[in-house]
Structure 1
Amino acid sequence: MFQWGMLIPTSESSELPIFNRIEVCIGDDQSLENDLSTYSSFLLDMKQMLSSSDEHSLILIDEFGSGTEPTAGGAIAEAILSEFDRRGCYGVLTTHYTNLKLYASKADTHVINGAMLYDLSKIAPLFKLEIGLPGNSFAFELARKMGLPENIVKDAESRAGEDFVDMEKTLRRIVKGRRVLDEKIKKVKKAEGTLEGLTEQYQQELESIKQQKQQIIDNAKKEAESIVKGANKQVEKTIRDIKESSADKVKTKEARNELQGFIQALETNKINKQKVHDEYINRKLEQLKKRKKSAKTEEKTREEEFRNAPLKLGEKVRVKSNGMVGEVVNVSSKEIKVVIGNIISKMTPDKVERISSNEFKQATKNTNTPVYEKVDPSIRERKLNFSPEIDLRGERLSSAMERVTRFIDDAIMTGVSQVRIIHGKGSGVLHEELQKYLRTMPGVSTVNDEDIRQGGSGVTIVTLE
């Protein structure tokens, strides 16, 4: 629309690029005549896009990578997405593949997740796009809504794996927490607007007081000049009366008393007027002080409520003891998990305080270069060469146990939170004995099979404390 010169619904400050090519892959191009299946037609489209796309191309793909076995299809889709990303292409791609959502979450890519919001109570689309969060398929919820037997849905959840189901639930909690946080941000912005309005009002009143003060001073000067002129006239009259009375003592005394009374009346009038002016100024200043104090108290109360409210997933926090900042990734009744840099730390909620996104960005920007401790060269080399995955296929049980022990020790030393152990399925002996042994090792939190799409019982996922 924009490149055809049509008006588009956007803000006046928006900037849009000019595309030399717009590549589209929507719908099913399978063909019996051309011997093309759904996936073959998709791959043909991808081949054409890869042959011509660059940083001036717009890529539009619906159901990216679907139409074939999920593991292979997801891997090919991720490789193609990585190539589009490397070339700097623009695009919008819809998908249900989890690996593509995880790819978009990486810090070293230019891909951003987006989720179409759903009403969880009705399992109905809201037709709203939320940028920055991975979407949720709601497959199990939709199956229940459509009346699929509960035992079938339960069986499907168990087959998908606990990790997959937990991830779906976590995504829903993150979306819900994001909405709550957005509402709070709106309230804070509204309060800031009110506070700015009050500040402007106080400033205007202060300026008004200054102007009134200057006007009072100018009026006082004019009045003083008038008083001086009147006093001069009174003095001249007194001198004239004394001369005309030929220095009569009684007349002289009366003239002096009259002059003295006039001077006292001027002084009393000046004091009274000054008192009234001072009282007015002080009253106005006192009102301003009370308003400012009230505004500061309200702002402090709001900040305390923001800092001390129960923590939720995705919120930014500051560690009270050292000032380091991070993001909450897990919340339970007794402890929370916070991502600080590349490390996940467990701690009690009272050890941290909530901070705003701006505070988090500022703290991250101003982070000083860390001071590195002296580390043994052999330990440093082990950390650099450590891989979070080990392949034990073909190993005997005894040698596999020995390798796993060293592998877990290295993982704990390097601070890795999760590792993969590939042992294959075979007879199942190595799988069973390894998992029993791993559950007895210190520092191991959970031991589970990999998702069925990533290897199932042929791979063990170990989560470390």
Structure 2
Amino acid sequence: MQWKKVRHPLLYLTFKEHFKENPREVVPLDMELNLDQRILLISGPNAGGKSVSMKTVGLVQYMLQCGLLIPAGDGSEAGVFDDIFLDIGDEQSLENDLSTYSSHLLNMKQFVTLAGKRSLVLIDEFGTGTEPALGGAIAEAVLDQLNRARSFGVITTHYTNLKNFAERNAGVVNGAMRYDPEQLQPLYRLEIGKPGSSFAIEIARKIGLPKQIVERATQLVGKDKIRYDRLLEGLEKEKTDLEVRNAEAAKAEKRMKKAAQEYQDLKKHLDETTLEVLRNAKAQAKLLLKDTNQQIEATIAEIRSNQADKEKTKEARQNLDTFVREKLQIEPPKPKASRETADPKTLKPGDKVALIGQDGYGELISIKGKTAEVLFGGMKTIVKASQLEKVGRAEIREREKKAEKASFSSSASLGMDLTGRMANFSPVLDLRGSGLKMPCTRLWPSWMMP
């Protein structure tokens, strides 16, 4: 049998009926009997759940063999036995002149005589009712016989010699009812694989039994027994602490998995959103390109139909520009604020002036009507007076800084730094030492050469 989360049905109904306002949960039992561990020996403190666990096995197995549904969890497996033997409770009788121990011995006689490999034996408080040393010895002999008969069974006990027997012999396995030694509270959980302690000395000490009595009891029991129980107590405490840490680790792992899943979900959503945006952008781009091509073709056709009329062409270009800006949702460029040009009448020889839109500056030599003569660098130039603007000292310093930072190549490619080029200009072309063809290549550009 392999039962998972099986509950005592009567205990479950009792809790449900009597604890309606403050519900209490029945702790489920996990238990397994197989060919390698046929007999389970349960030990542990009093009121820790040993007898309830054994009775749960007997009642649920009997329900199963009567054809009833059993209160077991998913994944449980069960077998059917030919015989079920029970020794539970006190069967002493005044009429039959039977003591408690005698009644137990009569049951043991039936068990060792009749039990076989398809039998289930259930014994509560094995070996009690007589002198512990003798009771433990007889119980061990009976247990050995049941193990030799390859019977199945669940047995509860406090005897150390039976726990040791389970550790030494195959087919018998120890089981312990979990207990919190710090809080003195049973946990009602069965753990298969190790023996349990009765915690008698510890319980006596913590409930306040006089110190001298506890110490005397310790002396009478012996150091080996105390050391054995303390070892079991230490294992129990370590097990409890480990379970707490495991529970915390499980919670942390659950949070981590949740965070990882949320990250994956968010990443998936972002990827899907990105793909959707790209698809929409491509579709809009195709539509825009199609509309723009149609508008361009219409504009070209309009220009041709008007035989390249200047005004019509200008209007068509403006319409095309407006169409493109509307499609691309681009605002038309704002006109730059024009600088105020100097009134030619206010200019006088000696003023520092500059051509509008140029970085260089020069000195006004003379002005006649609408023309002016200006000295840029070392070269005199005639320009329209309306193209000049007067510059002050601060602006002159700013223009000189720009001229220092700008290179000749950038000046030539981006708009001719007039002041710098005129300052470096020389009217002399030295052809001395040149060959016959060299002067031509230096006087005319390459596209004029034959």
Match of 1:239 among 284, 300, 305: 300
Alignment match, 2:188: 128
Asked whether 1:50 is paired with 2:115, we answer no
1:50, 1:223 → 2: CA distance?
Answer: 91
Q: Is the 8 A contact 2:85 2:111 kept in 1?
A: yes
Instruction: Give the secondary-structure state (helix, strand or coil) at the position aligned to 2:174.
Output: coil
Match of 1:94 among 135, 144, 156: 156
Alignment match, 1:24: 86
1:194, 1:147 → 2: CA distance?
Answer: 44
- AA at the equivalent of 2:196: G
Deviation at 1:21, TM superposition (A): 2.0
Alignment match, 1:159: 220
Alignment match, 1:80: 142
5+ residue gaps, structure 2: 1-59, 331-450
Alignment match, 1:207: 268
- AA at the equivalent of 1:219: N
Alignment match, 2:422: none
Mapping 1:327-366, distance limit 5 Å: none
Match of 1:174 among 209, 212, 235: 235
Instruction: Give the secondary-structure state (helix, strand or coil) at the position aligned to 1:18.
Output: coil
Match of 2:125 among 49, 63, 84: 63
Identity, in percent, stands at 40
Deviation at 1:38, TM superposition (A): 4.4
Alignment match, 2:421: none
Alignment match, 1:140: 201
Deviation at 1:164, TM superposition (A): 1.1
TM-score under structure 2 normalisation? 0.50
Q: Which moved more, 1:243-252 or 1:149-158?
A: 243-252
Q: Which moved more, 1:129-138 or 1:190-199?
A: 129-138
2:221, 2:271 → 1: CA distance?
Answer: 73
- AA at the equivalent of 1:111: V
Deviations 1:110-149 (A, max 9, x none): 423122636655x5x5372332342222333455578765
Q: Is the 8 A contact 2:147 2:171 kept in 1?
A: yes
- Cα distance, 1:247–1:149 mapped onto 2, change above 3 Å: closer
Deviation at 1:240, TM superposition (A): 1.0
Q: Is the 8 A contact 1:78 1:99 kept in 2?
A: yes
Instruction: Give the secondary-structure state (helix, strand or coil) at the position aligned to 2:108.
Output: helix
Q: Is the 8 A contact 2:122 2:155 kept in 1?
A: yes
Instruction: Give the secondary-structure state (helix, strand or coil) at the position aligned to 1:111.
Output: strand
2:205, 2:303 → 1: CA distance?
Answer: 117
Deviation at 1:213, TM superposition (A): 2.0
Deviations 1:279-337 (A, max 9, x none): xxxxxxxxxxxxxxxxxxxxxxxxxxxxxxxxxxxxxxxxxxxxxxxxxxxxxxxxxxx
Match of 2:175 among 91, 99, 113: 113
Mapping 1:316-327, distance limit 5 Å: none
2:265, 2:206 → 1: CA distance?
Answer: 60
Deviation at 1:159, TM superposition (A): 2.6
Alignment match, 1:279: none
Q: Is the 8 A contact 1:101 1:113 kept in 2?
A: no
- Cα distance, 1:215–1:176 mapped onto 2, change above 3 Å: same
- AA at the equivalent of 1:92: V
- AA at the equivalent of 2:302: D
- AA at the equivalent of 1:214: L
Alignment match, 1:309: none
Deviations 1:229-260 (A, max 9, x none): 21122221221122123245776577568757
1:118, 1:260 → 2: CA distance?
Answer: 86
1:224, 1:120 → 2: CA distance?
Answer: 74
The higher-RCO structure (CA 8 Å, 6+ apart) is 2
Q: Is the 8 A contact 2:178 2:236 kept in 1?
A: no
Deviation at 1:206, TM superposition (A): 2.0
1:213, 1:107 → 2: CA distance?
Answer: 68
Deviation at 1:198, TM superposition (A): 2.0
Mapping 1:269-308, distance limit 5 Å: none
Asked whether 1:15 is paired with 2:77, we answer yes
Deviations 1:343-398 (A, max 9, x none): xxxxxxxxxxxxxxxxxxxxxxxxxxxxxxxxxxxxxxxxxxxxxxxxxxxxxxxx
2:67, 2:255 → 1: CA distance?
Answer: 41
Larger radius of gyration: 2
Alignment match, 1:196: 257
Instruction: Give the secondary-structure state (helix, strand or coil) at the position aligned to 2:154.
Output: strand
1:152, 1:234 → 2: CA distance?
Answer: 109
Match of 2:245 among 142, 167, 184: 184
Structure 1 or 2: more helix by fraction = 1
- AA at the equivalent of 1:167: Y
1:64, 1:258 → 2: CA distance?
Answer: 107
Match of 2:286 among 225, 238, 246: 225
Q: Is the 8 A contact 2:85 2:122 kept in 1?
A: yes
1:202, 1:229 → 2: CA distance?
Answer: 40
- Cα distance, 1:22–1:186 mapped onto 2, change above 3 Å: same
Instruction: Give the secondary-structure state (helix, strand or coil) at the position aligned to 1:96.
Output: coil
2:259, 2:160 → 1: CA distance?
Answer: 49
1:183, 1:98 → 2: CA distance?
Answer: 29
Q: Is the 8 A contact 2:140 2:161 kept in 1?
A: yes
Alignment match, 2:31: none
Mapping 1:31-42, distance limit 5 Å: 38-42=100-104
Aligned length in residues: 267
2:305, 2:202 → 1: CA distance?
Answer: 116
5+ residue gaps, structure 1: 270-465
Instruction: Give the secondary-structure state (helix, strand or coil) at the position aligned to 1:113.
Output: strand
Instruction: Give the secondary-structure state (helix, strand or coil) at the position aligned to 1:129.
Output: strand
Instruction: Give the secondary-structure state (helix, strand or coil) at the position aligned to 1:60.
Output: strand
2:186, 2:236 → 1: CA distance?
Answer: 13
2:128, 2:287 → 1: CA distance?
Answer: 96
Instruction: Give the secondary-structure state (helix, strand or coil) at the position aligned to 1:19.
Output: coil
- Cα distance, 1:107–1:245 mapped onto 2, change above 3 Å: farther
